[in-house]
A = this chain, B = another copy of it.
Amino acid sequence: MDFSSDTSAPAHPAVIEAIMRANQGMAGSYGNDEITAKLRNELARVLETDDFDFWMVASGTASNALALSVLCPPTGSILCHEEAHIERDERGASEFFTGGGKLSLLPGDGAKIDAPALEEALDNIDEAFVHETPAKVLSLTNLTESGCAYYPGEIAHFVEMAKAKGLAVHLDGARLANALVTCGATPAEMTWKAGVDVVCLGLTKAGAIGCELIILFGEARAKFDKLKARAKRAGHMPPKMRFLAAQAEAMLTEGLWLELARQSNEAAGALAEGFVRSGGELVHPVEGNEVFVRLPEPVIKALEAAKAKFYPWPGDCYRFVCNWTMMPVDVKAFVNAL
């Protein structure tokens, strides 16, 4: 089995079918089409609000960087975890899109931000001291880079701290579906109800070809025109946007994205359980579709013999990512067979 990454998985058949349906006749370019219009309605249902604007892009890096670029001025900084994707895996995209803003890094287990560290960082902000770059945005990631989940209450708590100091809050939700399933939370509870200003809701890892939604809530909607202008000049306004909308529609309709995430999470759970039974030691709690684990030599050998694919990871461990194509029952069988 291939546990290398959920980005290596194909798209769900429903996505392909939606693309075929979308491929009919002429349609307005740049988001001015009927599928995009209908998607808005679907999103309103999913998000339980109409107080939002959204844009679609094909990569998570674009999604995060564009979102942050309308929240953080070039002279400001973004508080995030030191292992956040925006810091580690996006080649300085946030710095580029913000025009030279900074990331200020915070520690914390499981790639979740440590609350006292955040408090200290917030306390240290001194807008009047022109020499230092003041934090303007708090960026959270759910699931975190270590596969851990923030519960809505935790998000709300961090938001409250951040807003008390005037910061905006961004949520990197490349694996939001997995976090929602784990927390038993609705998209609304995890985002605007918790005070999040902008969420990057990822559908690519969940089963799309390439579709990430940038959703602005409430007051952040005032930045929507700016977001579109920045999307355009970053090359993230492809003409035939109906095909992005079709992907999103397919994934959101009847909760497919959550169903697939539940399946991946269960697969990861089964994998973790099997590893632990075989003497493996989990490095982080498994709260999504990822397992970070230290494994006994024989297990590693058995995995290699079974041609399993997975990556060694910093911290002397291995990362296994389950994706929507894996049936929990198959994963269970696989791990039992080791």
Which residues of A are at the interface with B, using a C-beta cutoff of 8 A?
2, 4-5, 7-11, 13, 16, 19-20, 22-30, 57-63, 65-66, 73-75, 77, 88-93, 95-96, 99-103, 105, 127, 130-133, 204-205, 209-210, 225-226, 228-230, 232-240, 243, 309, 325
Contact = CB atoms under 8 A, between A and B. Distances in A.
A74 to B, nearest CB: 6
Nearest to A96: B100
A204 B63 contact: no
Given A61-B233, A237-B130, A240-B204, A95 B89 contact: no
Given A92-B100, A228-B130, A232-B130, A11 B23 contact: yes
Given A75-B226, A88-B131, 10 more contacts: A7-B29, A8-B27, A58-B238, A59-B236, A74-B99, A91-B133, A95-B101, A99-B100, A130-B228, A234-B235
B26 A230 contact: no
Given A100-B100, A209-B240, A92 B57 contact: no
A10 B29 contact: no
Contacts of A92: 74-75, 77, 100-102, 133, 233
B204 A91 contact: no
A63 B131 contact: no
A210 B239 contact: yes
Contacts of A93: 232-235
A63 B95 CA distance: 21
A91 B132 contact: yes
Contacts of A236: 59, 62, 235
B204 A61 contact: no
Contacts of A2: 26
What's the dominant secondary structure at chain A's contact region?
A: loop
A225 B76 CA distance: 12
B19 A63 contact: no
Number of copies of chain A assembled together? 4
- The winner among A88, A90, A205 for most chain B CB atoms within 10 A is A90
B75 A229 contact: yes
B23 A10 contact: yes
A95 B91 contact: no
A289 to B, nearest CB: 15
A296 to B, nearest CB: 26
Contacts of A205: 239
Contact of A19 (B19, B105, B131, B325): B19
A88 B132 contact: yes
Contacts of A13: 23
A222 B23 CA distance: 39
7 contacts: A8-B26, A19-B209, A61-B235, A91-B229, A93-B232, A204-B238, A205-B239
